[in-house]
Amino acid sequence: MLQLLSCRANIAAAPLRPLSLHCRCNKSADLWKFSRWYTSPGSNANSSSQQRGGAVSRIWSLTQRAVRQSTTRTSKPPGVALKFILGPAVLTVSARLFCHVAHCEADVNNNTPVEVVAKNPVPDFKWHVLWEFVKPQLFTLVCAVVLAFGAAILNIQIPLMLGDLVNVVARYLRENTGNYVHEIRGPALKLLGLYGIQGLLTSGYIVLLSRVGERVAADMRKTLFASLLRQDVAFFDANKTGQLVNRLTADIQEFKSSFKLVISQGLRSITQTVGCFVSLYVISPKLTGLTVLVLPCLVGAGALIGSFLRRLSRLAQEQVAKATGVADEALGNVRTVKAFAMEERELQLYAYEVDKSCEMNENLGTGIAIFQGLSNIALNCIVLGTIFAGGTLISSNEMSPGDLMSFLVASQTVVRGMSSGARVFEYLALQPTIPLSGGGRIPYHSLTGRVDFMNVSFSYPTRPGHQVLQRFSLTLPPSKTVAIVGESGGGKSTVASLLERFYDPTSGVVMLDGLDIRTLDLCWLRSQVIGFINQEPVLFGSSVMENIRFGKPEATDAEVINAAKQANAHGFITGFPDGYNTVVGERGVTLSGGQKQRIAISRALIKNPSILVLDEATSALDAESERVVQEALDRATRGRTVLIIAHRLSTIQRADLICVMSNGRIVEVRRLSIQNIL
Ligand SMILES: Nc1ncnc2c1ncn2[C@@H]1O[C@H](COP(=O)(O)OP(=O)(O)OP(=O)(O)O)[C@@H](O)[C@H]1O
């Protein structure tokens, strides 16, 4: 007994030498079972190849020792040996499982970094949202689970078969009688068959699981992207695009990897645990009682550490997103960066954020290390506790370092996966305050294009304390041009944004043909009624043809060319070697300011809008470009209701009404043409 206890003490103190614990194992087959578990592909995913190599040589020496021992062994009934193996296994494996569960629960409920709370409530991981994505892949997932389950069962079977094989070898070496080849052929072929099936099952479930993971991730990406596009403009005022893109890429990637790993490792854990629980029930109700006593403590500790780890993980992921945001901004505006020779400063900014994220990930690593250390201690303490309580039942340690590592890595994966998933789900569930569709439409032939701003007050959602418009009232009569001039920051562009319904007024109403625009279909309003041309036209990195067609996706080539002609753009477009197929570069970088603006005008005109909003449309152009663009605009504005926001007198020369704005309200209205003002 003392010998046995000292042997077990070795287990707790030096888990990396588990095979030495088999000093009391009496059946060579048991040795093989253990060694097989130690090196089984599933359970050893995270142990190094060195460990594997060491294990193989140890297994060989143990085999020889087992063979030697088998000649002089004492006769103990096989059931006792089985108890020796399974008893502690049940405790350790079940502890793993429950720690795992505790970990997940803790992650969901108890993980709110103070810094983030101030801005945003921490998103919860929502199982029902995950279910929505998994549901279409259910059949494939079930097939993967069945195959993985089969592989897991074979993982348990193979060591037993190896045991049989070793028995044959041992018997032959001991007795040296009979036909060795004949005797060994049966179990060897059986084992070979099992290896083959196990390999097939493993490949099969990995293929299927990877298919499920990829499809779930693709669906998530599409849904998240659609959800982001639906959000209000105010949402984009508050969130950096780099961080949003990070959710589409890094977070979903992280979630996908975790999803696949958790399913494959989780299955193995469950299979082993169920098997061990059954054995435990058969072997020792006492150990079952002890397990029930010890597990709540482990669950509590796991919950505590889990919440701490998830907090660290979330902070680290936020920081990585921040660093990506800095890089995205700098690369997206690389010309400005270069024009100001700010490469060094941008690099410093990026380095600062990356260093911070590095530090946070190191903290996370430390947290995980502490968790691993504590788990190790806890699991070994269970073994020790069992020695005191159950004593003679223990002679083998089923908790191999490989198993422990894979469990710990799986736990850590759960932490990361859940926090990435929660970040993805956060925006999936987000509903825009201004719905894109729904609401009424005014038939084209009866639409006059009259716009009324009535007592409109407005503050931007990101700056609720700062009132930009105060009881602002203005009428745009049908087919007339109204210009708004005034001091910078006076709220002119804000008026245009409210007409586009990028935001809704805090109070008051904006009306189209006497109807509150909040009751109208937003998609119709933006795609068919209002054409918007601003100071810095943004083009997409596709062809001229595609950029103009962006205004009306179903437009024919002839319509595109017609719109380009109206906007004075046809001449320069046909001057390009590739004509309308010329690719304009990212954001239209290969075109001049005037050319870009005329393509933007074509894009607005192709939808034949009843209302045209020109927000300083020519202010970025030189005199010659301005003249050409102005010509195009004069032609484009005919017969439409037009709102011009301008600084330059030339822009508003033909306006029917000129309003001067200051501090968010109209302070003066002139119904004269500009020549008369001058
Ligand atoms: N997205 C936004 N979020 C928060 N505040 C904003 C936003 N856009 C503009 N503002 C603020 O609203 C006020 C009015 O801005 P607006 O762009 O309407 O002025 P403007 O008269 O068009 O100025 P300018 O002639 O210089 O373009 C300014 O104080 C500006 O800082």
Measured over all CA atoms, what is the biggest interatomic distance in the chain, rounded to whole angstroms?
123
Grade residue 24 by pLDDT with cuts at 50, 70 and 90: very low
Share of the chain above pLDDT 90, in %: 8
What are the tens digits of pLDDT across the range 380-428? 665 565 555 444 343 444 444 444 444 445 445 555 566 666 666 777 7
Neighbouring CB atoms inside 10 A of 507's CB total: 12
For residues 37-52, give the mean pLDDT.
Answer: 36
- The answer to whether 581 touches 500, Cβ cutoff 8 Å, is no
- The answer to whether 272 touches 94, Cβ cutoff 8 Å, is no
| Average pLDDT of every residue of the chain | 70
* Cα–Cα dist 68/526, whole Å: 86
pLDDT at 632 over 70: yes
Q: Which amino acid is at 145?
A: V
Distance 427 CA to ligand 1 centre (A): 27
pLDDT at site 561: 92
Cα angle at 151 between 147 and 157, to 5 degrees? 145
- 238 in contact with ligand 1, CB cutoff 6 A: no
Residue to mutate, 235, 458, 468, ligand 1, most ligand atoms under 8 Å from C-beta: 468
Neighbouring CB atoms inside 10 A of 152's CB total: 26
440, β-bridge pairs: 520
Measure Cα distances from 311 to 108, 317, 487, 488, 643 in Å. 11, 10, 47, 44, 50
Residue nearest to atom 14 of ligand 1 (CA): 491
Residue with tokens 């024009």, as numbered in its chain:
339
Grade residue 20 by pLDDT with cuts at 50, 70 and 90: very low
Enter the tokens of residue 214: 């990829």
Give the three-class secondary structure for 675: helix
pLDDT at site 511: 93
Distance 493 CA to ligand 1 centre (A): 7
For residues 44-63, give the mean pLDDT.
Answer: 37
Pick from 513, 517, 584, 511: which is nearest to 545 by CA?
584
Distance 497 CA to ligand 1 centre (A): 10
- 237 in contact with ligand 1, CB cutoff 6 A: yes
Query: What is 590-617 written as a DSSP string?
Result: TS-HHHHHHHHHHHHHTT--SEEEEEST
- 462 in contact with ligand 1, CB cutoff 6 A: yes
* Cα–Cα dist 78/67, whole Å: 17
* Cα–Cα dist 661/488, whole Å: 10
pLDDT at site 459: 92
Grade residue 653 by pLDDT with cuts at 50, 70 and 90: confident
* Cα–Cα dist 601/622, whole Å: 17
Task: Write the ipTM.
Answer: 0.95
The arrangement of strands across the sheet holding 611-615 comes to: 530-534, 611-615, 641-645, 481-486, 657-662, 665-670
Grade residue 534 by pLDDT with cuts at 50, 70 and 90: confident
* Cα–Cα dist 156/85, whole Å: 13
Q: What is the pTM of this model?
A: 0.59
For residues 489-518, give the mean pLDDT.
Answer: 90
Counting from 1 in the atom list of ligand 1, the atom nearest the Cα of 463 is 4
* Beta strand ranges found along 203-352 (DSSP E): none
469, β-bridge pairs: 458
Grade residue 114 by pLDDT with cuts at 50, 70 and 90: very low
Distance 105 CA to ligand 1 centre (A): 46
pLDDT at site 417: 60
- 489 in contact with ligand 1, CB cutoff 6 A: yes
* Cα–Cα dist 587/599, whole Å: 12
Neighbouring CB atoms inside 10 A of 300's CB total: 12
pLDDT at 51 over 70: no
- The answer to whether 442 touches 611, Cβ cutoff 8 Å, is no
- List, as own/partner pairs, every contact residues 125-128 make where C-beta atoms lie below 8 angstroms and the sequence separation is at least 24, other chains included: 125/418, 125/419, 125/421, 125/422, 125/425, 126/422, 126/425, 126/429
Burial class (CB in 10 A: 0-12, 13-18, 19+), 116: middle
pLDDT at site 25: 36
For residues 79-96, give the mean pLDDT.
Answer: 39
pLDDT at site 216: 85
Which range is least confidently modeled, 314-328, 333-347, 451-465, 491-505?
Answer: 333-347
For residues 332-356, give the mean pLDDT.
Answer: 79
What are the tens digits of pLDDT across the range 438-478? 788 888 788 888 999 999 999 998 888 888 998 999 999 99
Enter the tokens of residue 672: 């004269």
pLDDT at 27 over 80: no
- The answer to whether 95 touches 379, Cβ cutoff 8 Å, is yes
Counting from 1 in the atom list of ligand 1, the atom nearest the Cα of 491 is 18
Residue nearest to atom 29 of ligand 1 (CA): 489
Grade residue 95 by pLDDT with cuts at 50, 70 and 90: very low
Residue nearest to atom 23 of ligand 1 (CA): 489
- 668 in contact with ligand 1, CB cutoff 6 A: no
What are the tens digits of pLDDT across the range 233-265? 888 877 777 777 777 777 777 777 777 776 666
- 537 in contact with ligand 1, CB cutoff 6 A: no
pLDDT at 131 over 90: no
